[in-house]
């Protein structure tokens, strides 16, 4: 399984990092410890002491440093050991890998590739929980499945018709009609106009509407989607092109989602969702999150089952169908960006 | 471990299949989905969608078809895809393997070998739960052990003396004297005369008897056994040959058992047992099933422990003893029938 | 991972063997069954029947023998089969491996190497629970970690400063100053003088003292340690050399510990600890054992975490520090003694 290393991966919700408390995770099979010092400095190191490989995440934050609590080696935020108890000289090679790390949009982003290429401009424009225009709930799920299977799921919403008929009240429209797929520099854009009759889950009013739904799916597995309702005839008037977000007359909402490969067959899925302040409140947000909770459990059940079948199949092959267009486009981009770099998950994990 | 593919394997109790509800299992390491349509048609397919390998057993029965509930591909009972949502043309190679499947003797039998050789006459003559002459209880156990170890167990009843002294009240007679072993076309027959003194578990009367016990152990792991009590002197009168079943004066009972290899080291064991209508009632059946439940738990404990030792032994070898005659004969037959075909479990699992 | 086979390994606490009841364990990946006959004879056999590999530990003790309870083969304490039910002749090769085994110091010791080299004089001089001079508590812990990591832990007490600051109240002295390390024929001796101010956990009196701590760490993983308090100035008077144990004025205590590799990544850790009769009572022993229980849980948490990191690291390497001197010396001895013999754990497990 190939992944793009030169990319920002979501490691955690910013609010889940407590000050001066190490936070353990893993990305692309690499154990990583994150911490915020008492003065607010964020750091990410290889979670493996250079001495005897104890996890630094069992360590103790001391000022800007992190001390391994097995034999007391102290690490600076750049990975360099700065103290070895019982020993006067610290060799220069006493260091672990440090990862570029940024707190943005209420997510902690880690650059898994070559540090010199870590450009903050490549962080996808997610909408954070603290954005004043949106009322967002959030959550996360751990998957016993490789991240690519979750990305594939998110790149083809035809599954809504079958997997989410109950939770999202999705009808046949998702499977019947392909969306418009547009290539982006680091992803694909998936857009569609959908009928939204009066009284549907997406439209609790008594007036029939049209819904527009647009998401960008970006390297290394970030989905940013908004949707909203428009008066009947809008799609025709625009020649099925994209409306302005601000012109939505109801139901405007936004979801940011991130799929992070923890190891070869485990992943963490982060998501937020909620209405625009114009179109909802905390109660609306909570009912949307309840719906999402049910839907994402449906996905997890299906994808983990799919993973088990794949793992038990000697030579697993897929047979692409018409709805796979977005998946194919995105995965070609992954292959292209991944092979222009020396490493991939299989060599790392 | 070698298995005979050209054979009918028990996949389930017929009554465990609900109409229009997919049933998941695996045989010889192959995932299989079974279902009965609303019109009563029974089908068995490879449980792995041709599109992205989701299990079809998470799907939905629609008329005679089964729809994959990930992206909606619809399968006919012969394995051919008949609908792909969002796509007009269905390629001919869009198909999964279909297995010959028959409902007989209250078991669902699946032919794991070449479909053209699937002869229903090769289904062993088990006695089903609905047979009017017998009052049968039934059950099943999942083993964390390869099926062959369970077959070996059933082919040598000398273990009754040691494993089942408590549950079956077995005495030294099973270990002390070998049974008569007779080769059959697709199995072996194991028969013995046993003393049955007054008041023994097999003979609750106050008159001493002789018991006759006869079982066929048939490819691919089917045990069909009856036993009954005869007046003292019957064995001598018959020169130790087989009596007529109908001549038993008491204690006539029948058990059908099936050992199904699910994967390399997991198996499912199906069993029924109970008295002839002439010699018992529901209460008798229930007390027999209670005894069997205790005994089969004793077997499972021993065989799973044996499996763990074998798995931890670099080059496991057995040392055959006199009581292994039936095992040796049967396993030679397995080897012969298995090697006259191209595949075995190891290449499949 | 290399282990010394020609050594006595602790298999169990003597008191955990019930008369005529088989006891299962494994050492160096080899399954072993222990039992004491009704006449008090101790035996240790390979826990794997020569017939079909069932574990003998599910067997039944009969006089001096152990009967496999699958098909009834009976084993003498030298591993020879002495009875095969249903068969008159017992072949000479019907035997399993017997291990030299000795009950000493309240531990059952098993010799894992060449039987002819099993010299009881090589059993380390542990202090048993029944020794009248000491009041000892005892316990054991199973580790999901290779034994070598636990040995490494015990060979460098600088970890006390970090891992056991809470439980043992260890201060910076362990990490700040290296102990004296002395090579022994089959191990290393680790000794140190420590300041022991009034009111410290090691010295509940109101007079400041000096503590001396000395342990031998012996092949194949046996720690024997005593410590005691001495009047201020004793270390200087002795030129930092060892005091006489009997001259301790308070706090004299002893601990025997054994690390047994069960398999490649599982171990069993046996320990006793308590005061000299002169310096404590049952209440003192119990408070020490409570402290030890907390401390050993801290070790287990760290070492099992370290093991998981090592297992997930493709090419794990350590970077030795000054405090590793004892570890390095001991492990070189292990390498030397292990390579002068043909087998090691990797070929056995």
**Per-residue pLDDT for A344 more than 50?**
no
Tokens of C257: 């510990």
The reply to whether residue B52 touches residue A306, judged by beta carbons under 8 angstroms, is yes
Tokens of A215: 């998401």
Owner of token pair 């547009």 = A182
* Residue C294 near chain B (CB below 8 Å): no
Q: Cis omega (within 30 of 0) on the bond before A220?
A: yes
Question: Closest Cα partner for B227 from B241, B206, B242?
Answer: B242
Q: Are C40 and C62 a contacting pair, CB within 8 Å?
A: no
Which of C50, C69, C85 is opposite residue B319, by nearest beta carbon?
C50
Question: Closest Cα partner for A18 from A49, A48, A42?
Answer: A42
pLDDT: is A177 or B181 the higher one? B181
Average confidence score pLDDT of chain C: 94
* Residue A180 near chain B (CB below 8 Å): no
Torsion of CA A176, A182, A183, A188, to 10 degrees: -60
Instruction: Supply the pLDDT for residue C245.
Output: 96
Owner of token pair 């082919």 = B155
Q: How far apart are CA B190 and CA B159, in angstroms?
A: 14
- CB-based burial label for C19 (10 Å; 0-12, 13-18, 19+): exposed
State the pLDDT confidence band at B206, using cuts at 50, 70 and 90: confident
Q: How far apart are CA A136 and CA A276, in angstroms?
A: 9
> For A123-141, what is the mean pLDDT?
98
**Per-residue pLDDT for B345 more than 80?**
no
- What residues of chain B lie within 8 A of the CB of C87, using their CB? 321-323
Nearest chain A Cα distance for residue B30, angstroms: 9
> For A74-82, what is the mean pLDDT?
98
- Element (H or E) spanning B215, and its range? strand B209-218
pLDDT by residue (tens digit) across A173-215? 899 989 999 999 999 999 999 988 887 776 777 889 999 999 9
The reply to whether residue C323 touches residue A86, judged by beta carbons under 8 angstroms, is yes
Which of C152, C178, C301 is opposite residue A86, by nearest beta carbon?
C178
- Residue B41, number of CB atoms within 10 A of its CB: 11
Q: Cis omega (within 30 of 0) on the bond before B220?
A: yes
- Is the sign of the CA dihedral C86, C90, C93, C97 positive or negative? positive
Nearest chain A residue (CA) to B348:
A314
Tokens of B329: 């004969």
Phi, psi of A117 (to 5 degrees): -100, 5
Instruction: Supply the pLDDT for residue B166.
Output: 86
Q: Report pTM.
A: 0.94
Q: Are A154 and A188 a contacting pair, CB within 8 Å?
A: no
- Residue A144, number of CB atoms within 10 A of its CB: 13
Average confidence score pLDDT of chain A: 94
Instruction: Supply the pLDDT for residue B346.
Output: 44
The reply to whether residue C322 touches residue A94, judged by beta carbons under 8 angstroms, is no
* Residue C315 near chain A (CB below 8 Å): no
Instruction: Supply the pLDDT for residue A346.
Output: 44
* Residue B315 near chain C (CB below 8 Å): no
Q: Cα dist. B56→A302, B19, B50, B74 in Å? A: 10, 16, 10, 10
Nearest chain C Cα distance for residue B10, angstroms: 26
Instruction: Determine which of B49, B52, B93 to mutate to test the interface with A (most A C-beta atoms within 10 Å).
Output: B52
Which of C175, C178, C318 is opposite residue A52, by nearest beta carbon?
C318
- CB-based burial label for A130 (10 Å; 0-12, 13-18, 19+): exposed
Q: How far apart are CA B63 and CA B55, in angstroms?
A: 19
Nearest chain A Cα distance for residue B91, angstroms: 10
Q: How far apart are CA C208 and CA B157, in angstroms?
A: 75
Q: Cα dist. B107→A182, A228, B9, B16, B129 in Å? A: 53, 54, 9, 9, 9
pLDDT: is A341 or B37 the higher one? B37
* Residue B51 near chain A (CB below 8 Å): yes
The reply to whether residue A71 touches residue C162, judged by beta carbons under 8 angstroms, is yes
State the pLDDT confidence band at B341, using cuts at 50, 70 and 90: low
**Per-residue pLDDT for A93 more than 60?**
yes
- Residue C116, number of CB atoms within 10 A of its CB: 7
Q: Cα dist. C6→B276, C11, C100 in Å? A: 63, 15, 11
State the pLDDT confidence band at B203, using cuts at 50, 70 and 90: confident
Q: Are B152 and B146 a contacting pair, CB within 8 Å?
A: no
**Stretch 2-41 of chain B: residues touching chain A, C-beta under 8 Å:** 29, 31
Residue C126's SS3 state is coil
Quick one: DSSP state of residue B6?
Answer: S
pLDDT by residue (tens digit) across B78-101? 999 999 999 999 999 999 999 999
In total, chain B counts a number of residues equal to: 349
The reply to whether residue C321 touches residue A71, judged by beta carbons under 8 angstroms, is yes
Task: Tell me whether strands A137-143 and A23-27 are parallel, antiparallel or unpaired.
Answer: unpaired
- Chains near B with 3+ CB pairs less than 8 A apart are A, C
Chains A, B: CB contacts under 8 A, how many? 74
Q: How far apart are CA A81 and CA A72, in angstroms?
A: 10
- What residues of chain A lie within 8 A of the CB of B91, using their CB? 319
Q: Name residues whose C-beta falls within 8 Å of residue B54's C-beta, 6 or more positions apart in sequence.
A: A302, A305, A306, A309, B48, B68, B69, B70, B71
| Percent of the residues in chain C that have a pLDDT greater than 90, as a whole number | 89
Quick one: DSSP state of residue B19?
Answer: B
> For C304-318, what is the mean pLDDT?
96
Q: How far apart are CA C122 and CA C182, in angstroms?
A: 19
Q: How far apart are CA B335 and CA B339, in angstroms?
A: 6
pLDDT by residue (tens digit) across C104-156? 999 999 999 999 999 999 999 999 999 999 999 999 999 999 999 999 999 99
Q: Could you give the residue ranges of the DSSP H alpha helices within chain C?
A: 147-154, 160-163, 173-176, 234-237, 282-311, 325-339, 345-348
Q: Name residues whose C-beta falls within 8 Å of residue A230's C-beta, 6 or more positions apart in sequence.
A: A209, A210, A211, A212, A243, A247, A248, A249
What is the DSSP track for B279-311?
T--HHHHHHHHHHHHHHHHHHHHHHHHHHHHHH
> For C236-249, what is the mean pLDDT?
95
Phi, psi of C36 (to 5 degrees): -110, 125
Residue B99's SS3 state is coil
Q: Could you give the residue ranges of the DSSP H alpha helices within A195-281?
A: 234-237
Question: Closest Cα partner for B199 from B219, B177, B175, B229?
Answer: B229
Q: How far apart are CA B88 and CA B94, in angstroms?
A: 13
- What residues of chain C lie within 8 A of the CB of A24, using their CB? none
Tokens of B337: 């029938």
* Residue C54 near chain B (CB below 8 Å): yes
> For B156-171, what is the mean pLDDT?
92
- Residue B246, number of CB atoms within 10 A of its CB: 9
- What residues of chain C lie within 8 A of the CB of A71, using their CB? 156, 158-159, 162, 175, 321, 323
Nearest chain C Cα distance for residue B178, angstroms: 7
> For C175-192, what is the mean pLDDT?
96
Phi, psi of C213 (to 5 degrees): -135, 130
Q: Cis omega (within 30 of 0) on the bond before B74?
A: no
Count Cβ neighbours within 10 Å for each residue of B174-205 and write b for 16 or more, e otherwise. bbeebbebeeeebbbbbbbbbebeeebebbee
- CB-based burial label for C18 (10 Å; 0-12, 13-18, 19+): exposed
Report yes or no for ipTM above 0.90: yes
> For A97-110, what is the mean pLDDT?
98
What is the DSSP track for A301-335?
HHHHHHHHHHHT-SS------GGGHHHHHHHHHHH
């Amino acid at each position: 399984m190939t992944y793009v290393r030169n990319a920002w991966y979501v490691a955690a919700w910013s609010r889940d990092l407590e000050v001066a408390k190490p936070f353990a995770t893993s990305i692309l099979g690499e154990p990583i410890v994150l911490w915020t010092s008492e003065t607010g400095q964020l750091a990410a190191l290889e979670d493996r002491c250079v001495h005897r490989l104890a996890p630094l995440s069992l360590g103790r934050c001391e000022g800007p440093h992190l001390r391994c609590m097995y034999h007391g080696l102290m690490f600076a935020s750049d990975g360099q050991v700065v103290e070895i108890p019982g020993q006067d000289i610290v060799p220069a090679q006493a260091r672990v890998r440090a990862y570029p790390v940024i707190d943005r949009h209420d997510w902690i982003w880690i650059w898994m590739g070559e540090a010199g290429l870590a450009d903050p401009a490549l962080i996808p424009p997610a909408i954070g929980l603290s954005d004043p225009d949106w009322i967002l709930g959030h959550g996360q799920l751990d998957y016993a499945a490789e991240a690519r299977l979750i990305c594939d799921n998110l790149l083809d919403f035809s599954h809504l018709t079958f997997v989410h008929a109950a939770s999202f009240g999705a009808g046949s429209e998702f499977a019947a009609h392909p969306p418009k797929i547009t290539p982006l520099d680091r992803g694909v854009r998936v857009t569609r106009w959908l009928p939204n009759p009066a009284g549907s889950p997406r439209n609790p009013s008594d007036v029939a509407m049209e819904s527009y739904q647009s998401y960008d799916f970006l390297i290394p597995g970030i989905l940013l989607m908004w949707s909203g309702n428009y008066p009947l005839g809008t799609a025709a008037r625009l020649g099925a092109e994209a409306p302005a977000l601000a012109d939505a007359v109801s139901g405007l909402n936004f979801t940011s989602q991130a799929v992070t490969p923890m190891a070869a067959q485990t992943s963490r899925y982060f998501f937020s969702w909620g209405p625009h302040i114009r179109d909802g409140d905390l109660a609306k947000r909570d009912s949307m999150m309840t719906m999402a909770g049910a839907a994402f459990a449906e996905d997890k059940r299906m994808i983990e089952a799919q993973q088990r079948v794949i793992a038990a199949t000697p030579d697993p092959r897929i047979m692409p169908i018409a709805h796979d267009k977005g998946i194919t486009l995105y995965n070609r981009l992954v292959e292209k960006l991944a092979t222009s770099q020396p490493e991939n998950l299989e060599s790392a994990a």
